[in-house]
Chains A and B, each alone.
Chain A
């Protein structure tokens, strides 16, 4: 009977191409497709084509759409945040590997990983304000609270660079360690955390100068962050170690860990805050972690090299105002 229900849901979703708030999107970066999963039944219910090599996604400042960056076809695919329905394609966004909106929603930034540049757009109409060519594989990004600066990790050159959003000028570029990837700004706006994929942990960086303030061992191949939602705890995937750990950023220590095989990468939390979904790049699966127990409770098959993951939602939450920018490095939720 359960199988019949799942099949019915799958049939309807596949036929209409529309998902719903129970759905989860997963970008299959090596297959030019995205999977739509049912969160409740934990199955893939549809798979839709998208450009080429989709890696990350981002919610628009008005909270109505989620944009998928298609790196090889230089475009963004906009989906309705509630239904997953296709809304639009934004052309001429070159190599949009990682994406982010500034917290005030005025700036849209892309890190062109293959093409070595950072593009800063006026978010309104995606008008290019400035393109900064910079060596070293621009990888992930974070913003400061007042939307003046964007921080971008340079995975190959081992640096973190800060750009002024208004002038699109480089403010500073500092060495932080081997293969920096995920970066987040903590709520105090005074500490950046940078995950070092070529090492076994993270570093704490002063956002004003780029100076290193400390480090923390978390596991080999520290890669990407996702906020737990309380402003204090953050999840971190360790790709080589094959773990996801929970960081307490007040005590600056690892407080929990769970083994996730297959190169864990991007994450998202269910709207009730009970589950963390993590892409397992190598295994072509998405793991589901019970947050309270910090235990993997399911692993769902998807396409090849799943990367970005996102929970569709019933729109901006009442009483909280419009959703602020959410990126795959999870600076705000």
Chain B
């Protein structure tokens, strides 16, 4: 294990000290020295994720597809762009620049009041002896927050206006997970980072939670006819479980998308009565022509049109203007 860590941090350090550190030094960015080093790890993890998706998960999609090839396959291309922009840190960097002052301001305000995040290891001392147990507890807490944020994305019309871009894909694949509007990404990031700070998730754990969580989410969007089994599908979100959440609504199932919200652990859907387990294969997408029109557009066009959709949902004056 230590050999693997040495290879990983050795590579990260080499990249940082050879390419990034001299630039940061030259441009007077030394106050960001540690975040700069962490950013290198983020990009490295992104490359690993892309490889796992492109090689590992795609193998399963080709070998055991749920939906057969069709004319909609061309719609997948833009999702690959989303994945690259996210996993290689381009969108996250932009989000970091925007959210950092906000997060910092809130964090400093809270801490100035004397608030210190709880240490679960102090409440449950045995957690301190097991890095894995500690990681899983924080992961579960993080996923719990993500579950409720996801419900909020569907509950508020203005947020749905953004999130509907993610659901508009008619050809759901391993690449679909990152298909989100940047404002949607920004809001989710802001909420989850603040939650992680309040709960006391370690910076090191946070990166791993993010990576493992996003990989599981990529897998849950896969176009594969593979099941974790009766027990497994209740422990971890899989493709069948999450595909139902993306199902196109129909007269018999008007609110089918208001189920199976959990990103990683289905326990939240089971506990809060939003879980549906069945093996029916439903088409995916959104039963709304304006949202369905996202299909066929490129990244920039999607970002622009969805932002306008968001603005209209947010500001009543824009809605009236559109109605006229």
Chain A residues near B (Cβ < 8 Å): 30-32, 48-49, 51-53, 72-75, 92, 94-95, 114-116, 137, 155-156, 178-179, 197-198, 220-221, 239-240, 242, 261-263, 281-284, 301, 304-305
User: Contact between B117 and A52 (Cβ–Cβ < 8 Å)?
Assistant: yes
Q: Per a CB cutoff under 8 Å, which of B12, B31, B112, B203 touches A156?
A: B31
A309 vs B30: C-alpha distance when bound (angstroms): 22
A-B pair number, CB within 8 angstroms: 93
A262 vs B107: C-alpha distance when bound (angstroms): 30
Q: Chain B at the A interface: mostly helix, strand, loop or mixed?
A: helix
Given contacts A73-B119, A305-B34, whether A178 and B112 have CB atoms under 8 Å apart is no
A52 vs B199: C-alpha distance when bound (angstroms): 12
Given contacts A31-B202, A49-B128, A221-B30, whether A282 and B16 have CB atoms under 8 Å apart is yes
User: Contact between B5 and A261 (Cβ–Cβ < 8 Å)?
Assistant: no
Given contacts A31-B202, A52-B202, whether A283 and B25 have CB atoms under 8 Å apart is no
Residues of B within 8 A of A30 (CB): 202-204
User: Contact between A198 and B204 (Cβ–Cβ < 8 Å)?
Assistant: no
Residues of B within 8 A of A155 (CB): 30-31
Q: Per a CB cutoff under 8 Å, which of B16, B31, B117, B204 touches A31?
A: B204
User: Contact between A179 and B31 (Cβ–Cβ < 8 Å)?
Assistant: yes
A88 vs B64: C-alpha distance when bound (angstroms): 59
User: Contact between A301 and B2 (Cβ–Cβ < 8 Å)?
Assistant: yes
Q: Per a CB cutoff under 8 Å, which of B17, B30, B114 touches A94?
A: B114
**Shortest beta-carbon distance, B43 to chain A, in Å?**
15
Given contacts A49-B121, A49-B128, A52-B119, whether A114 and B34 have CB atoms under 8 Å apart is no
A114 vs B12: C-alpha distance when bound (angstroms): 26
Residues of A within 8 A of B22 (CB): 240
A30 vs B107: C-alpha distance when bound (angstroms): 18
User: Contact between B121 and A73 (Cβ–Cβ < 8 Å)?
Assistant: no
User: Contact between A52 and B200 (Cβ–Cβ < 8 Å)?
Assistant: yes
Given contacts A31-B202, A74-B114, whether A198 and B28 have CB atoms under 8 Å apart is yes
A73 vs B37: C-alpha distance when bound (angstroms): 24
A138 vs B279: C-alpha distance when bound (angstroms): 59
User: Contact between B2 and A197 (Cβ–Cβ < 8 Å)?
Assistant: no
User: Contact between A198 and B111 (Cβ–Cβ < 8 Å)?
Assistant: no
Chain B residues near A (Cβ < 8 Å): 2, 5-6, 9-10, 12-13, 16-17, 21-22, 25, 28, 30-31, 33-34, 37, 107-108, 111-112, 114, 116-117, 119, 121, 128, 200, 202-204
Write the chain B residue with the least CB distance to A158. Answer: B28
Given contacts A52-B119, A282-B9, A283-B9, whether A197 and B30 have CB atoms under 8 Å apart is yes
Write the chain B residue with the least CB distance to A155. Answer: B31
User: Contact between B33 and A51 (Cβ–Cβ < 8 Å)?
Assistant: no
Given contacts A155-B31, A283-B10, whether A74 and B116 have CB atoms under 8 Å apart is yes
Residues of A within 8 A of B202 (CB): 30-32, 52
Residues of A within 8 A of B12 (CB): 282
Residues of B within 8 A of A221 (CB): 21, 25, 30, 33
Residues of A within 8 A of B21 (CB): 221, 240
User: Contact between A73 and B116 (Cβ–Cβ < 8 Å)?
Assistant: yes
User: Contact between B28 and A178 (Cβ–Cβ < 8 Å)?
Assistant: yes
Interface centre among B30, B37, B107 (most CB of A within 10 A): B30
A311 vs B124: C-alpha distance when bound (angstroms): 30
Residues of B within 8 A of A178 (CB): 28, 30
Given contacts A72-B116, A179-B30, whether A284 and B5 have CB atoms under 8 Å apart is yes
Residues of A within 8 A of B6 (CB): 283, 301
Residues of B within 8 A of A261 (CB): 13, 17
Interface centre among B31, B114, B200 (most CB of A within 10 A): B31
Residues of A within 8 A of B128 (CB): 48-49
Residues of A within 8 A of B37 (CB): 263, 281-282
Write the chain B residue with the least CB distance to A280. Answer: B13
**Shortest beta-carbon distance, A142 to chain B, in Å?**
20
A73 vs B13: C-alpha distance when bound (angstroms): 29
A198 vs B30: C-alpha distance when bound (angstroms): 6
**Shortest beta-carbon distance, B55 to chain A, in Å?**
28
A32 vs B121: C-alpha distance when bound (angstroms): 10
A263 vs B117: C-alpha distance when bound (angstroms): 29
User: Contact between B111 and A95 (Cβ–Cβ < 8 Å)?
Assistant: yes
User: Contact between A283 and B111 (Cβ–Cβ < 8 Å)?
Assistant: no
Residues of A within 8 A of B203 (CB): 30, 53
A214 vs B40: C-alpha distance when bound (angstroms): 36
Residues of A within 8 A of B112 (CB): 115
**Shortest beta-carbon distance, B11 to chain A, in Å?**
11
- Starting from the known contacts A74-B111, A115-B112, A281-B34, 7 additional A-B residue pairs (CB-CB under 8 Å) come to A30-B203, A49-B119, A74-B116, A221-B25, A240-B25, A263-B13, A305-B204
Residues of B within 8 A of A220 (CB): 25
Given contacts A51-B119, A179-B30, A221-B30, whether A115 and B108 have CB atoms under 8 Å apart is yes
Q: Per a CB cutoff under 8 Å, which of B5, B9, B33 touches A197?
A: B33
A30 vs B25: C-alpha distance when bound (angstroms): 23
User: Contact between A262 and B204 (Cβ–Cβ < 8 Å)?
Assistant: no
User: Contact between B200 and A72 (Cβ–Cβ < 8 Å)?
Assistant: yes
**Shortest beta-carbon distance, B34 to chain A, in Å?**
7
User: Contact between A239 and B114 (Cβ–Cβ < 8 Å)?
Assistant: no
Residues of B within 8 A of A281 (CB): 34, 37
Write the chain A residue with the least CB distance to B21. Answer: A240
